[in-house]
A and B are shown apart, each in its own frame.
Chain A
Amino acid sequence: MADAGVNVKTVNLTIEGRPVTVPDGTSILEAAKMAGVLIPHYCYHPGLPVAGVCRMCLVEVEKFPKLAPSCATSVGEGQVVHVHSPKALEARKGVLEFLLINHPLDCPICDQAGECELQDYTFAEGRADSRYREPKRFNPVEDFGGDVLYVQNRCILCTRCVRFMDDVAKDPVLNVSERGDRAFIGKAEGHDLTNPWAGNVVDLCPVGALLSKDFLNKARAWELDRAPSVCTGCSQGCNIVIDTRDNVAVRMRPRPNADVNQYYMCEVGRAGYREFNRRDRVEQPMVRNGHTLRIADWEDAITAAARALAGQRLMVLVSPNLSNETLFLVERLVAHANGQAAFRVDTGDEVALPGVPDLALRSERAANATAARQFGFAQLASAQLSLRDGDALLVVGEQLDGIDVADLDRASTIVHIGTTLPDVLAARANVVLPIANISEEEGTLTNLRGRVQRFLQAKAAPGLARPSWYVMADLLAAAGGEGQYFSPADVFDALSVTHAPFATLSYERLGLLGLPVLSPEIASAEVSG
């Protein structure tokens, strides 16, 4: 046990023959995890209050008169616990049989197939046949509102969803209704799962009883590729997984991070996957020739871009959803050219998840405004760019929604680095350089608390689009700036050398859970909540 302090009492016990030492008060189930033993379970979840109702986690503890529910039983000194003894296996087999007697044979049409805990444990430890000869219970499907569909037939009444809404979302809109085998998850008329955090019940549900309407029938779990990433819906920086099928993003799910989002993410974040699949992408570099933008090769386009920006006052408008690496390279360019950079951020209502400390859908609806501020970029309060006549404008990642066109016309040249080509630039941009979106490249982001977290590539960028840091690095070099970067890690290393808070950091050190880097005061400047 590490630096837990001298006052933490520990308990020694043996689980499946493995000795393990854990803090006093730990449940046998958690102690087993620490010993590397998985005790099958349904209703238990580390983020929820213990219920102890599914009875799947029963283990044999020597000298106990009955099997013990390991999620609800504390460790005791010297206990000898058997997870796979004949008695425990038989008990679990019994639970599985009971769960399956009314459970419909929906696997072929059920979204959960392939990532279903009922399938998993039944395959591992359940009966090969069914002894049930009676008609199965049948109930219709119910729309719970929001993104959630409730397929009552498949429900195993683990009550994770009810406990989540009660204790974590603190919005008790779900209940257990009726009694006995008539019981089901219910809600009150007119009170739906419209809470922005309600979609987490779909992740929590161990079976296919609670489903995402958005994801319904879109893909099979085994067809999906998964990449760890960070949500860009707001500045909270929830850790996520982006699921893709054939290079199309189909779903985003939370990835556990005890220091950021525990096990959850909100609906605004989840809906963000659609943005990754936009079809109106710029796929080739383009250079203006007269009235039209013509396709060019990368080398020519970069050269044209550097030439277009040279010799004038440089103004860079960046998206606050660009990675630390890309923003760092923008900062280098701005310093080299003695220019300025700015960004705009959308805001919305903040919605906290009350049961988790410091977790909310943040009012700042962008993932990396903290870094943008850190690099000295100005936050624009309005759609006014404050360009001076003759400025060179470099737009990186910004969609220019609501931008004053007259403002744009002040620029003498415009270079656009982006995923799409906004209409207002189709007639004005001198050079267009296509880049990957956040799901198509690798990098890091800094959340509102100054935590730096890595995101990995989930799918391939279309056409000839390149990672944003790559394009910025080339542009910087073409403009005469210093540094050669062959990977995002190289950029990050350079960033860590020049920016004190990032010193000693590396991708290895950051891992997939990130590290707190900037002090909260710096990070939270100008951020509410």
Chain B
Amino acid sequence: MSLRRTLAFRANLFFDVVLALIGVGAALTSVLVVFTQTNSLVGWSRAEAFVLIGTFQLLTGLKGTFIDPNLSWFPENAVRNGKLDTYLLQPAPSLFLASLAMSSPLALLQSWLGLAVVGVGISEYGHLPSLSGFLAWLVLLAVGLVITWTLGVLFACLAFWAPRLQLDVFYGSAWQLARYPVAIYRRPLRLLLTYVFPMALIATQPAGALLHGLRPMVMVGSVAGAAGSALLALICWRLGLRRYTGATS
């Protein structure tokens, strides 16, 4: 449905495609400018940085497609205007509907372009990733996606307690912190970004796994973290729903 809506207006489609291209171009240009002045950014070479940016764009595209439309819609429409009732009345789990029902498929273009950038990075790097590294990358991407969804749900759930609070702008800004290797940040911020708001899992860890191979401790920790955070999201959603009173509930 969302796809058909998007394809209905060709001029808008053209603009959105150009915007996706510019988004990826912007990320690449930033990396390119950095590497005109140095050969290594906290130990990452240019090829490795391309893989990082490509992975980041991949997840940004997925976030923009599946999570952002719902996160910006939720506090205003669902909670303040009571439209959450439409999801509560349907037989599917309300958390699933509220967080994933709407999508803007055009943002997927960013993901495809990100994949292409990862390809460019790998070819410049010289050696192909090992099978375990590739699988680790896929697993960590899935983990990153779950973490992204969880953070989106947690921010949206805040609307149950403080309906005027809309944190999609904040989430978008904080997301930009994942664009560079986490090692550039100083210690307290780096710890925050690895364990509390795991932005490191968005790009740095998956890219590291793809390039340098599997690290079991990281994998176990990440999967456990993702499972734990999904559980946290579910609990917060249930708690929030208990507070919600709409027209029919």
A and B from one assembly?
Answer: no
Q: Which residues of B contact A (CB under 8 A)?
A: none
